[in-house]
Amino acid sequence: MLRYWQLGGEKMARLNINISDKLDKEMREHIENNNLTITTFLHLAISKYLESQEQTKKFKDLFTELLKEELKNMK
């Protein structure tokens, strides 16, 4: 379920998520050990995940281009 609420001038999504007990425990331990809030942790985790996916796509595209060039040169 996705709901929105307003914080200052910024619209924020409110999420209900289901995660395993193990992942919940690990997340809460990390949050406590690093003095974070759940919101901050999720912002960081999602941002890093999206950055990682973007980097992976760039490397795949680069590798594909290099491979195409190499195959072209072999002909």
The pLDDT tens digits of the residues spanning 45-56 come to: 999 999 999 999
What would the two tokens of residue 2 be? 């996705």
Q: How would residue 59 be classed by pLDDT, with cut points 50, 70 and 90? A: very high
pLDDT of res. 45? 95
SS3 of 15-26: the string is ECCCCCHHHHHH
pTM for the predicted model, two decimal places: 0.69
Q: Rg of the Cα trace of the chain?
A: 20
The answer, yes or no, to whether residue 8 has pLDDT greater than 80, is: no
Residue 46 and residue 39: Cα distance in Å, rounded? 11
Between these two residues, 6 and 25, which has the higher pLDDT value? Answer: 25
The answer, yes or no, to whether residue 24 has pLDDT greater than 80, is: yes
Mean pLDDT of 60-73: 93
